[in-house]
Amino acid sequence: MPSDPLRFVRPDFVDLEEYEPVKPLEVLAREIGVPVGQLVKLDANENLYGPRPEIRDAVAAADFHIYPDPSSSDLRAAIGRYLNVDAAQIVAGAGADDLIDILIRLTGPERIVIAPPTFGMYSFLGKIGGAKILSVPRTPGPEFEIDLDGIRAAVDAGARMIFLASPNNPTGNVLTDFQVEALADAEAIVVVDEAYAEFAETSVVPLAAKHSNLVVLRTFSKWAALAGLRIGYGIAHPELAARMMAIKQPYNVNVAADVAARKALELRAEILEDVRCLVAERERLIAETRKLGWLEPVPSQANFVLFRVVGRDAKTVVTDLRNRGVLVRYYARAELSDYIRISAGRPEDIDRLMQALRELD
Ligand SMILES: *Cc1c(COP(=O)(O)O)cnc(C)c1O
């Protein structure tokens, strides 16, 4: 009788759900019967303009037989200049996801508050960190406002860490400074995930100087089209940032990511032109889909829009679009069962999407 190979695994890990395994593009393309290059990928909020050629050149020229700088000094200095904060407040990581993990490991919170519907990584990494996840739901759509009193009650009940995204994924709405400051007055670390800040009109980075328990997360994945290289960062009180630096994996930022991110900051004026185009396409997406009469957009400050599907089955719409080579996001969760999320793309991507949507009429 062979012994149980999982007997040394932490009991709560034995049946932990994997983080939404997604099919590789090649597999999807084969299933649908189109070449990968003809898929319109509007399901993961990536920047379909892709990285600037200068970034590819810089990565190609990087010396990656040498280990990266564990303190990412040049990159953190460049980010500091970009945001007008001290480099000592910046911690870089393998995507914003890495910073979520670092914060959870640093503080070891017994309870973490999230405000669903929201980004899945907070509860996923929270559970791996051994925390209990307290969900304080947002109000129903189209508002999807956070429940400030409910979150404060969760802190009173012992939660020491709050994760909120602004703009929120998948709803697209932002937090107000008032909401963030009200939460920062509570006895908990408040993490505001600004993965989509470059597409939005507001940011709470300036508030980080006032509140030692406020941490802001950012990434190069969305605006700078570097999702596949894994590079993000956090802005925190210098003492908290120093402790984050102390416990992170020393080489969490690889050489290619470091070089690419610095080049992206150098080229930010040009890249932000692409961002402006994506924002314009987001607004065109809203205007064009309104004419169909069966998609109700939720106002968004990010590079995607959440739509309520009215009078037809949302999941069927997603399948029908996929069969036409257009990928959008569906959520298998009760409160989003009538919704689909569509990323903004280049004009030609949104044209292809609109053509497919009209074919469904
Ligand atoms: C996409 C996304 C991230 C992931 O950022 P990475 O830097 O790629 O890890 C983080 N937070 C939110 C809200 C996102 O939507």
280 CA → ligand 1 middle, Å? 22
Best probe residue, ligand 1, of 45, 103, 121 (max atoms within 8 Å of C-beta)? 121
Name the residue type at position 152.
R
Ligand 1 pocket, residue 302 CB under 6 Å: no
DSSP code of residue 129: T
Q: Position of tokens 């959520």? A: 331
Pick from 91, 118, 119 the residue to mutate for probing ligand 1's pocket: most ligand atoms within 8 Å of its CB. 119
Say which residue the tokens 């950012």 belong to: 218
Task: Provide φ and ψ at 91, rounded to 5°.
Answer: -125, 125
Per-residue tokens: 240: 């908290």
Q: What is the DSSP letter of 26?
A: H
Instruction: Give the residue among 188, 190, 224 at the shortest CA–CA distance from 204.
Output: 190
8 Å CB contact between 46 and 343: yes
Evaluate: CB of 95 within 6 angstroms of ligand 1.
Answer: yes
pLDDT for res 2? 78
Place of tokens 């009650």: 153
DSSP state string for 141-181: TTT----HHHHHHHHHTT--EEEEESSPTTT-----HHHHH
First CA to last CA distance, the chain: 59
Q: Where are the beta strands (DSSP E) in the chain?
A: 40-41, 90-93, 111-114, 132-135, 161-165, 189-193, 214-219, 232-235, 295-297, 304-309, 326-327, 329-330, 339-343
Give the number of the atom of ligand 1 that is nearest the alpha carbon of residue 118: 13
Any alpha helices (H) in 157-267, and if so which ranges? 177-184, 238-247, 255-266
Which of 124, 123, 144, 145 is CA-nearest to residue 135?
123
Sign of CA dihedral 278, 335, 219, 79: positive
Relative to the CA of 231, which ligand 1 atom is closest? 7
Q: Residue 325: CB within 6 Å of ligand 1?
A: no
101 Cβ below 6 A of ligand 1 = no
Spans of the chain, pLDDT less than 50 = none
Residue 16's pLDDT is: 87
CB neighbours of 231 closer than 8 A, spacing ≥ 6? Answer: 92, 93, 94, 95, 219, 220, 221, 253, 257, 258, 260, 261
* Closest C-alpha to ligand 1, atom 7: 95
Angle, helix 96-107 to helix 238-247, in steps of 10 degrees: 100
Q: Would the CA dihedral through 120, 125, 128, 130 be positive or negative?
A: negative
User: Which atom of ligand 1 lies at the shortest distance from residue 302's CA?
Assistant: 15
- DSSP H helices, 173-214, are 177-184
* Pocket flag, ligand 1, residue 169 (CB < 6 Å): yes
Instruction: Check residue 1 and give its pLDDT.
Output: 65
Nearest C-alpha neighbor of 345 from the set 50, 22, 54: 50
Q: Whose CA is nearest to atom 1 of ligand 1?
A: 195
